[in-house]
Amino acid sequence: MAGIRRDEVHGTGHDMSGSHADASNMFSGKVAIVSGGASGIGLATANLLAELGARVIATDIAGRPDGLGRTVDFMSHDVTDRDAWRAVGARTVAALGHVDILVNCVGVLSEGNLKTTSLAEWRRVIAINVEGTFNGCQAIIPLMPPSGGSIVNMASVSGSRGDANLIAYTASKGAVVMLTREVALDCARRGTNIRCNSVSPGVVDTAMIADFFAARPSATLPEWLASQPVARTIAPAEVAELIVFLSGPEASFVTGADFPIDCGASA
Amino acid sequence: MQPLRNKIALVTGGASGLGLACVKRFAHEGAKAIIGDIAPPPAGLDAEYVRLDVTSEESWHAALAEIVDRHGRIDVLLNGAGVALDGDDVFGCTQETWRRTIAVNLDGTFLGCKLVSEIMAANGGGSIINIASINGVVGDGGIVAEGVAAYSASKGAVRLLTRSAALDLAARATNVRCNAILPGYFATPMVLDYLAAHPHPGQARSRIETAHPLGRMGLPHELTGMVMYLASSRSAAVTGAEFVVDGGYTAR
C-alpha cells in the first residue's frame, strides 16, 4: 500500500482516562461489509479494517482478488441485485450475528456527454453507483445494532463539480452525497446511533481510473491531475484511512457529511 | 508507533474549550503541544505555554520567535482561538463587538496561516487546521435567539481563507496543507457559560440539542480525533477541504 506506512495508524477509542488504545485492536469485535472490495479503494479499506481487528466481508461482482488479506471473507455479489444484498446480509448475520460497518465502495466511471450518453449507459451508471449504494443501506441498516453503526458511501469530487464529458458519473455522485444526508437524517430521526457519511476523492490510483484512460477517452490523466492543486494521484490506502476514521469511534459526532480527499481540487 | 510523536503542535486558544481538549490529545499522542493563549493554561498540563494575542502581529512574532528558538520548527498549527460575544444580533451588534469578533476569529486565523506557514515551508512542510463553524455555512435560524451575526461572518470568512491559503500553499509547492473543521455545538465553556447565564437555560439547551439530528451536543473529545487525522500524514492528500463535525446539523 503505497504512500502510507502502517505504523502511522494511531490508536483510538480515545478514552478520558488517558490510557492508550492498541491500534491493532481498534475495531476488535466489529463486523464490516465492504462492497467493491476486490480492487482499489474497497480492497484497501477491507484490508485496513481487518488489520485493525474487524471481521470483514468484502464483496464484489469480480472474484476474490489475490491482494485481499487472509482474514477477510469474500462473497460474490452484484450491488444492483436487491436479493443478492439480502443474501450477503443474511449470511453475515448467520455467521457473525450483526453488522457494525458498511462501506459502499462499488463504482463505475463512464465517459459521455449529453449527446453521446445512451439511456442504457445512463441507467447502468446510476444503477451501480446510486442504486447499489441505496440497496446496501436499505439491506444492511436493519442488521446494525441501534446502539451504533456506521456507513461510508463513495462519492467523488465529481459529485460537486460538473464535467460535460462525465455526465452520468457526476450526476450519480451528486446523488450519493444527497442520499448520504437522507440516510443520516433518517437514522437519527429513528433514534438510532447509526451514522452515515460520504467521502469525495480526487484522482485515485485505481483500476477504475486506469481502465478509463486505457480506453483512450478525450481527457488525459495529466489533465485530470492538473485539476488538483497538488498534482499527484492519491493512493487507495490514503482514502482507506479516511474511510476507517469515519467508520470508527473517533467520528462519533460526525454524520450526514461529505469529506473531500482530493489534493485541493475542491478548494 | 505514533504518527504525531515529537511533532511540534501550536494550539491557539489552547487554554480552554476545544483547544484545551486538543492540547491534551496532542500530548497523549506523543506530540509536543504548545498553548498559545492570552490566558495562562490550567496547571499540570503536559504542554508548554507562550503568551499569544492572536489579534496582534507583534504578539505573533514574539511567540513564534520563542517557539522557533526552543524547537527550531512548527509541524502543526491549530487555529482554535475564537470568541462568540454577547449582543451579536444583526441590529444590535455594536462596531466594537463586530471588530473584536472579526479580530480574534478571522484576523487571528489569517495571521496564524500567514506567519506559521512560512516557518513550516522553510522546514519542509506542515499542517494548518482552522476552526470554523457550522455558522460559517448556515445562519443561526433562531437556535441562539441572541444572534450570531459577526460570529457567522467571521466563520464564513475562515472557510474561504482556508481554501485560498491551501491553494496558495499548494501553488508554491510548500508541502504545507491547510484545512478547516466546522464543529456544531460542543459542550465547551463558550456554550456552557452562555447557557448558565441564560434566563431559561433548560429551553435554550433543548433548542441547541434538537438542532442536531443526533439530539445532543458534541463532547470535546469527539473533535480531537478529527484534528489528529488532519494533523498527521494520514491525511497527506487532504488540503483546502472542510470537515464538518456537527451531529448532522448541516445535513438538513
Question: Lowest-pLDDT range, A5-9, A229-233, B38-42, B240-244?
Answer: A5-9
A223 assigned to some structural domain:
no
Q: Which of B49, B151, B194, B249 is catalytic?
A: B151
Q: Would you call B237 and A238 a contact, using CB atoms and an 8 Å cutoff?
A: yes
Query: Which residue carries 478547516 as its cell?
Result: B180
- pLDDT confidence tier of residue B145, bands split at 50, 70 and 90: low
A117 assigned to some structural domain:
yes
A28 assigned to some structural domain:
yes
Note the pLDDT tens digit of each residue in B67-102.
999 999 999 999 999 999 988 988 889 999 999 999
- pLDDT confidence tier of residue B246, bands split at 50, 70 and 90: very high
Question: Lowest-pLDDT range, A154-168, B130-144, B238-252?
Answer: B130-144
Cα B127 to Cα B174: distance, rounded to the nearest angstrom? 11
What domains does chain B contain, in order, with CATH numbers? Answer: 8-244 (3.40.50.720)
Q: Which residues of B touch A253 (CB under 8 A)?
A: 184, 214, 218-219, 222-223, 245-247
Which chain A residue has the Cα nearest residue B221? A14
Find, among B239, B140, B137, the residue nearest to B194 by Cα: B140
Q: Tell me how many domains chain A contains.
A: 1
Tell me whether A254 touches chain B (CB under 8 Å). yes
Q: Average model confidence (pLDDT) for chain B? A: 95
Give the list of residues 6+ apart from residue A15 with CB closer than 8 angstroms, or none.
A21
Q: Catalytic residue at A114?
A: no
Q: Would you call B28 and A241 a contact, using CB atoms and an 8 Å cutoff?
A: no
Q: How far is A226 from chain B (nearest CA, A)?
A: 11
A10 assigned to some structural domain:
no
Residue B8 contacts residue B75 (beta carbons within 8 Å): yes
Q: What would the mean pLDDT of B221-235 be, rounded to a whole number?
A: 97
Q: How far is B77 from chain A (nearest CA, A)?
A: 18
Find, among A137, A138, A130, A139, the residue nearest to A151 by Cα: A137
Cα A236 to Cα A40: distance, rounded to the nearest angstrom? 6
Cell numbers that stand for B33 in this block: 503541544
Residue A5: its pLDDT value, please?
34
CB nearest to A10's CB, from B29, B164, B184 = B29
Residue A22: its pLDDT value, please?
52
pLDDT in tens, chain A (267 residues): 333 333 333 333 333 333 334 567 899 999 999 999 999 999 999 999 999 999 999 999 999 999 999 999 999 999 999 999 999 999 999 999 999 999 999 999 999 999 999 999 999 999 999 999 999 999 999 999 988 999 999 999 999 989 999 999 999 999 999 999 999 999 999 999 999 999 999 999 999 999 999 999 999 999 999 999 999 999 999 999 999 999 999 999 999 999 999 999 999
Residue B35 contacts residue B15 (beta carbons within 8 Å): yes
CB nearest to A8's CB, from B215, B224, B234 = B234
Give the list of residues 6+ apart from residue A44 with CB closer than 8 angstroms, or none.
A1, A235, A236, A237, A239, A240
Residue A32 contacts residue A47 (beta carbons within 8 Å): no
pTM, to two decimals: 0.91
Cα A203 to the center of its chain, rounded Å: 15
DSSP of B6-20, one letter per residue?
Answer: T-EEEEETTTSHHHH
Residue B178: its pLDDT value, please?
98
Q: Which residues of A touch B239 (CB under 8 A)?
A: 229-230, 263-264, 267
CATH assignment at residue A89: 3.40.50.720
Cα B60 to Cα B78: distance, rounded to the nearest angstrom? 14
- Hey, how many other C-beta atoms are within 10 angstroms of the C-beta on B212? 23
Q: Which of A27, A85, A169, A212 is catalytic?
A: A169
Q: Crossing angle of helices B108-122/B149-171, nearest 10°?
A: 20
Q: Would you call B28 and A14 a contact, using CB atoms and an 8 Å cutoff?
A: yes
Q: Would you call A267 and B163 a contact, using CB atoms and an 8 Å cutoff?
A: yes
Q: Which helix (H) or strand (E) holds B123?
A: none
CB nearest to A266's CB, from B218, B229, B241 = B241
- pLDDT confidence tier of residue B142, bands split at 50, 70 and 90: confident
Q: Would you call A241 and B166 a contact, using CB atoms and an 8 Å cutoff?
A: no
Residue A21: its pLDDT value, please?
44
Indicate the DSSP class of residue B145.
Answer: T
Report the residue of B243, B249, B250 to disrupt the A interface, i.e. the one with the largest count of A CBs within 10 Å: B243
- pLDDT confidence tier of residue B144, bands split at 50, 70 and 90: confident
CB nearest to B170's CB, from A14, A230, A257 = A230
Query: Which residue carries 493563549 as its cell?
Result: B37
A7 assigned to some structural domain:
no
Tell me whether A3 touches chain B (CB under 8 Å). yes
A138 assigned to some structural domain:
yes
Residue A147: its pLDDT value, please?
85
Residue A10: its pLDDT value, please?
33
Cell numbers that stand for B156 in this block: 464564513
Q: Would you call A184 and B213 a contact, using CB atoms and an 8 Å cutoff?
A: yes
Tell me whether A96 touches chain B (CB under 8 Å). no
Burial code (b: 16+ CB inside 10 Å, e: under 16) for A54-78 equals bbbbbbbbeeebeebeeebbbbebb
- Hey, how many other C-beta atoms are within 10 angstroms of the C-beta on B40? 10
Residue B3 contacts residue A8 (beta carbons within 8 Å): yes
A160 assigned to some structural domain:
yes
Tell me whether A17 touches chain B (CB under 8 Å). no
Q: What share of chain A is helix, strand, coil (3-state, %, to 5)?
A: 40, 15, 40
Domain that holds residue A60: 21-202+236-261
Tell me whether A16 touches chain B (CB under 8 Å). yes
Residue A4: its pLDDT value, please?
33
Cα B147 to the center of its chain, rounded Å: 20
Q: How far is B194 from chain A (nearest CA, A)?
A: 21
Residue A48: its pLDDT value, please?
98
